[in-house]
Amino acid sequence: MPRVAYSFPEEVLEHVFSFIECDRDRGSISLVCKSWYEIERWCRRRVFVGNCYAVSPATVVKRFPKVRSMAIKGKPHFADFNLVPEGWGAYVFPWIKAMAVAYPWLQEIRLKRMVVTDDCLELIAKSFKNFAVLVLTSCEGFTTDGLAAIAANCRNLRELELRESEVEDICGHWLSHFPDSYTSLVSLNISCLGNEVNLSALERLVSRCTNLKTLRLNRAVPLDKLANLLRGAPQLVELGTGTYTAEMRPEVLANLAEAFSGCKQLKSLSGFWDVLPSYLPAVYPVCSNLTSLNLSYATIQSSDLIKLVSQCESLRRLWVLDYIEDAGLEVIAASCKDLRELRVFPSDPFGLEANVALTEQGLVSVSEGCTKLQSVLYFCRQMSNAALNTIARNRPNMTRFRLCIIEPRAPDYLTHQPLDAGFGAIVEHCKDLRRLSLSGHLTDRVFEYIGTYGKKLEMLSVAFAGETDLGLHHVLSGCDNLRKLEIRDCPFGDKALLANAAKLETMRSLWMSSCLVSYGACKLLGLKLPRLNVEVIDERGPPDSRPDSTPVEKLYIYRTVSGPRLDMPCYVWRMEDDSALRIS
């Protein structure tokens, strides 16, 4: 048999592989033959771990010795909505410890939903001489002292992004720990910090870092300081303002408008806490170049929003509160022809009645007018099958569709029927749909449609839907590419889960809370499927103290090659598999 693999010297193969960036393709390369596996693992520079418990740090470090960039995700997605109790896990320290030894040349760390302590940050600052990129999304557990350590020691730091993380804000002077000689900052995102940072230190930092492209300020930065900051960084591409209100003074407005017009490269705007509409005209000069606009915190009325958004013809991404109303969305449909992503958040999520005139019609208008629309997250109070049908037919190129009707189990408001047909139309017509979130009154029917048509679906979120196990069975048996399934408050029990147990090993994770899965079924799954970690989260006490038929509170099942985890809190029980019992 010709040894094709050895006809090319390793260096050539390495060079060829260096053009392959996608993780999945890299995985395929490594499966070709043993030598390709070897070559590939020595030249892999970026590793993405989608679930920090799916594999141990030691395994990763052993297989890929020359990594420069790590990305790790921790808690399940529903942790964003307070469904995962405190202390659940996702500690990044074991990873940092392992990498500190194995990867002295590590440059980038990106973490999502993990617990990062100050010790971790100090270890990072000490261990990696070339450290350049730290992105912490929805993380928690650290303080500004840890940030000070990063600032003081990472001479080559380029990106420091704390996106929506929970940081204990001890002292705003951590920024001053950046030495005066430090000028390599490209991206700084401190939008989640609660307290003031040292403003003069910030101004000096911004003006001496001439490569600064992204600056996202926190709410505590006052509006009258913004003009100075902008003047210090006219090359900015992405800006997040601080609080966008002040006593109305015409000179402040004029100053701000002039500063904004100086930033000719500005493409993305965010921030806008506490907006005073009279100050919005300051950003009008940059509107026509904007591709991304995040107004999620801008609690202003439809007319002011319309005045702003109607000028942003190049907009690709818009996040806005439902103050935009149907009228505003119609204007967007007419003016923002390049729109790819729309997110509309609820301004009064707990009110019983609508406080704004935002209905399904707004989304229908946008689906008609914006032909490139692919990604939607929409909170509203009423929906109809007809509207969903129209949206599906208008936008077959939709890839992410998340609809949240605020009242659980709300039916089609016109016909009082379930919304099965509407969501069915979405999955049927949008053949490239990768992510879907359901809401409203739904029966097993909708899951039948999803199982039949959702062949490319990778992530599905379900709440307050379905009638019997058949629904879950349709999804698990029909969606070939399903990776993440998260379910809450649905009447799904043991049957579908046990019948499709093998499917669970092909998925990253399954989350079920407030469903009808019994403790006995969980034990069975844990016993029979050793490559799955079946974790029962129950704050009522040990599940053994209740009959096997009692439904568990929450269930998190994920595949893993590193066996059960050892850092579980007291309310998480793992279902032992056969091998564990045999060893003990």
Interface pattern 449-468 for another protein (x via CB under 8 A): --------------x-----
Closest CB to another protein among 56 and 437? 437
Assign 467 to helix, strand or coil.
coil
CB of 459 to another protein, least distance (A): 14
The two structure tokens encoding residue 109: 């760390």
Residue 296 interacting with another protein (CB under 8 A): yes
Of 168-176, 343-351, 393-401, 420-428, which part binds another protein (CB under 8 A)?
Answer: 343-351
The two structure tokens encoding residue 255: 């100053």
Helix axes 118-127, 144-153, angle to 10 degrees: 0
Question: Is-contact 525 534, C-beta < 8 A?
Answer: yes
Give one DSSP letter per residue of 53-94, joined into a string: TTS-HHHHHHH-TT--EEEEE-S-GGGGGT-S-TT---B-HH
CB of 378 to another protein, least distance (A): 12
Residue 81 interacting with another protein (CB under 8 A): yes
| CA-closest candidate to residue 346, choices 311, 315, 319, 367 | 319
Residue 108 interacting with another protein (CB under 8 A): no
Residue 220 interacting with another protein (CB under 8 A): no
Question: Is-contact 73 553, C-beta < 8 A?
Answer: no
Residue 245 interacting with another protein (CB under 8 A): yes
Closest CB to another protein among 223 and 575? 223
Residue 178 interacting with another protein (CB under 8 A): no
Q: Exposed, middle or buried by CB within 10 Å (0-12, 13-18, 19+), for 11?
A: exposed
| CA-closest candidate to residue 331, choices 287, 362, 372 | 362
Residue 192 interacting with another protein (CB under 8 A): yes
Single residue of 11, 21, 25, 80 touching another protein by CB under 8 A:
80
Residue 198 interacting with another protein (CB under 8 A): no
Give one DSSP letter per residue of 153-164, joined into a string: H-TT--EEEEES
Three-class DSSP labels, 334-353: HHCCCCCEEEEECCCCCCCC
**Count of residues touching another protein (by CB under 8 A):** 38
Of 45-53, 59-67, 231-239, 299-307, which part binds another protein (CB under 8 A)?
Answer: 299-307
User: Could you say which residues in the range 116-145 bind another protein, by CB under 8 A?
Assistant: 138
| CA-closest candidate to residue 37, choices 26, 21, 22 | 26
Residue 272 interacting with another protein (CB under 8 A): no
Interface pattern 365-394 for another protein (x via CB under 8 A): --------------x---------------
User: Could you say which residues in the range 502-561 bind another protein, by CB under 8 A?
Assistant: none
Of 12-20, 79-87, 167-175, 468-476, which part binds another protein (CB under 8 A)?
Answer: 79-87
CB of 148 to another protein, least distance (A): 23
Question: Is-contact 280 304, C-beta < 8 A?
Answer: yes
Single residue of 56, 153, 268, 347 touching another protein by CB under 8 A:
347
Q: In angstroms, rounded to a whole number, what is the distance separating the alpha carbons of residues 302 and 323?
A: 5
Q: Which residues bind another protein (CB under 8 A)?
A: 80-83, 138, 164, 192, 245-248, 250, 273-274, 276-278, 281, 296-297, 299, 301, 303-304, 345-353, 379, 404, 406, 408, 463
